[in-house]
A and B are shown apart, each in its own frame.
Chain A
Amino acid sequence: MNINTDNYEAYLLDYMDGNLSPDETKQLQAFVAAQGLDWDELTEGLPRLEAPAVTYEGKESLKKKAVFVPLFAKIAAAAAAIALLFALFWKPSATMPQQELMAELQPRKTVLPEAEEISFPTPKATTYQIKNQPIAKNKATISHQEERTEMPLLADLNPVSGKEIHLTDDYLIANSLLPDPMIFNFEPEVAFIEEEPYYDDDWEPSLIDRGVIRLTNGRYGSIGEMIGGVFHRVSHEVATTTARVAMTAYYKADNQIEEAKERWQEKRERKDEE
């Protein structure tokens, strides 16, 4: 015990909590006496607060209710999850090189008709400004792209790698679909949270099956936000790439991987016949 004028009050509290040994108590009493302080005055009659019974009336408004998600959106989300798992764990067989499978898995015109291509408006040139927000932190450099080689199906993320992200208020992307912060040096915590979107009949389901929905306020979000209710403002590049990832994952779901393998097998057989 090293009692001094800076810490003796902490020891007094320990004494009152019954956490000092008899020997330590004697040391403390000796210190107090040496300072000319009154032991009883210091240690007696110190009040403790009793917690009043208080009820916060707004609990129900704080709680989060499940958001209705259309079936096709659920299917898309599930397909994306399956594809992601596939991307992480699938190892190409010796008879089918990974590069060829990737080529077979490219989205086809028949499932991505021109008329339904998602077009994002030009992002604002200025960085989003909120008073009192540390706007300087809203810049992050994406790096470590070499670690992504083990995730071949998400290779479409490459366009944003190595570029500086400027957060804008143009796009809202679900937390779950942002580039992995463990892989990319991205700081989602400095992004901004929007309030939960209001869903009504103005949805455009044709976009939902692409992995991206347009909100009724005219901005874009992803299927993830419908489930989690958490989404962020991100740059045009991240928004575009996230949409592409969702779309890629969707169009490269399990059955399409099987189809790709079959196509590859057919090609191989035709070649053998020739």
Chain B
Amino acid sequence: MDRSQYNQCVERYADGLFRFAFSSLRNREQAEDVVQESFARVWEKVKTVDFAKAKSYLFTTAHHAMIDEVRQRQHFTSMEDFSSTTEKTATSPYPDVNDILHKALATLPEAQRSALLLRDYEGYSYQEIGDITGMSESQVKINIFRARTALKNYLKRIDNLIDIEP
């Protein structure tokens, strides 16, 4: 890959990468850090990364960076609740219509969330998601199924809350 192709990657994938990172971390600044780090890694290996595989390389790098980010966050914020801490500082780029589902994403385990985001946002195959996350294809499917089930149950609970409101 050359410099021109690298710049094409920025143009094509930076939005999706940021969306992926933001949806997981729910914090704009940290999501931007993940995007910058991912592209820095690609630039570092620009001569050896194949242009056709650059997107997969970017998302794999971002996935690992997010895991590190979440671990650091757990370390430094002790037992503070993940969703509640980010909720105060995050500036959501999402329209209100999807806000409930995207809030529900924060309640999912990391493996379920990443697999679901890569599937629904980026349209990756189960095999490709496995390559990015290091899971087997079967594990990917199970995580996605459980993620959808959890979101469904979350929406049910929201419905119930609305029903009992006066």
Whether B7 lies near A56 (C-beta < 8 A) is: no
Cβ-based interface call for B93 (8 A) = yes
Q: In the complex, which residues of chain B have a beta carbon less than 8 angstroms from the beta carbon of A13? A: 141-142, 144-145
C-beta contact mask, B33-46 vs A, less than 8 Å → 1, else 0?
00110011001111
Bitwise interface map of A from 1 to 36 toward B, beta carbon under 8 Å scored 1, else 0:
000000101101110000000000000000000000
Once the chains bind, are B148 and A46 in contact (CB under 8 Å)? yes
Q: What is the bound-complex CA distance between A208 and B154, given in angstroms?
A: 64
- CA distance in complex: A112, B6 (Å): 39
Given A46-B149, A52-B93, residue A58 in contact with residue B36 (CB < 8 A): yes
Q: Known contacts A13-B144, A46-B148; is A54 also within 8 Å of B15 by CB?
A: yes
- Interface status of B106 (Cβ within 8 A of chain A): no
Q: What is B's interface to A at a CB cutoff of 8 Å?
A: 3, 6-7, 10-11, 14-19, 22, 32, 35-36, 39-40, 43-47, 93-95, 98, 101-102, 105, 116-117, 120-122, 138, 141-142, 144-146, 148-149, 151-152, 155
Which chain A residues border B18 with CB–CB below 8 Å?
54, 56
Q: Give 9 CB contacts A-B under 8 Å.
A: A48-B120, A48-B148, A49-B105, A52-B93, A54-B15, A56-B18, A175-B47, A229-B43, A230-B47
Give which listed residue, B10, B94, B117, contacts A62 with CB less than 8 A.
B10
A161 contacts across to B, CB distance below 8 A: none
Given known A56-B18, A193-B44, contact A47–B152 (CB-CB < 8 A) = yes
Nearest A residue to B42 by beta-carbon distance?
A62
In the assembled complex, the Cα of A201 lies from the Cα of B95 at a distance in Å of: 49
Interfacial chain B residues near A185, Cβ < 8 Å? none
Instruction: Please indicate the chain A residues that have their CB under 8 angstroms from the CB of B94 in the complex.
Output: 52, 54
Interface string of A101-144 (1 = CB under 8 A from B): 00000000000000000000000000000000000000000000
By the criterion CB–CB under 8 Å, are B120 and A51 in contact? Answer: yes
Q: Assign chain A's interface to a size class.
A: 20 to 34
- With A and B bound together, what is the CA distance between A3 and B100 in angstroms? 34
- Additional 12 contacts, C-beta under 8 A, given A52-B94, A52-B95: A7-B138, A10-B138, A10-B142, A13-B142, A45-B152, A46-B148, A49-B105, A51-B122, A64-B3, A64-B43, A193-B40, A228-B46
Check A50 for interface membership: any CB of B closer than 8 A. yes
A63/B7 in contact, CB under 8 A:
yes
- Specify which chain B residues have a CB less than 8 angstroms from the CB of A42 in the assembled complex: 149
Chain B residues within an 8 Å CB radius of A45: 152
Tell me the complex Cα distance, A63–B3, Å: 9
Q: With A and B bound together, what is the CA distance between A51 and B117 in angstroms? A: 9
Which B residues are in CB contact (< 8 Å) with A46? 145, 148-149, 151-152
Residues of A within 8 A of B93 (CB): 52, 54-55
Closest B residue to A175 by CB, please name it.
Answer: B47
Which of A9, A51, A56 contacts B146 (CB under 8 A)? A9
Contact of A12 among B40, B95, B145, B155 (CB under 8 A): B145
| Assembly CA distance A50 to B142 (angstroms) | 20
Residue of B whose beta carbon sits closest to that of A176 = B47
Instruction: Tell me the smallest distance from the CB of A223 to a CB of chain B, in Å.
Output: 16
Contact at A9–B145, with CB atoms within 8 Å? yes
A271 within 8 A of B: no
In the complex, what distance in Å separates the CA atom of A243 from the CA atom of B62? Answer: 35
In the complex, are the beta carbons of A49 and B7 less than 8 A apart?
Answer: no
Taking a contact as CB atoms under 8 Å apart, the answer to whether A64 and B44 are in contact is no
Do A9 and B39 have beta carbons less than 8 Å apart?
no
B14 and A50 contacting across the interface, CB-CB below 8 Å: no
Q: Which residues of B contact A9 (CB under 8 A)?
A: 141-142, 145-146
79-114 of chain A: CB within 8 A of chain B: none
Q: Which residues of A contact B11 (CB under 8 A)?
A: 59, 63
Distance (Å) between the CB of A182 and the closest chain B CB?
12
B116 touches A49 (CB 8 A): yes
Chain B residues in 8 Å Cβ range of A48: 120, 148
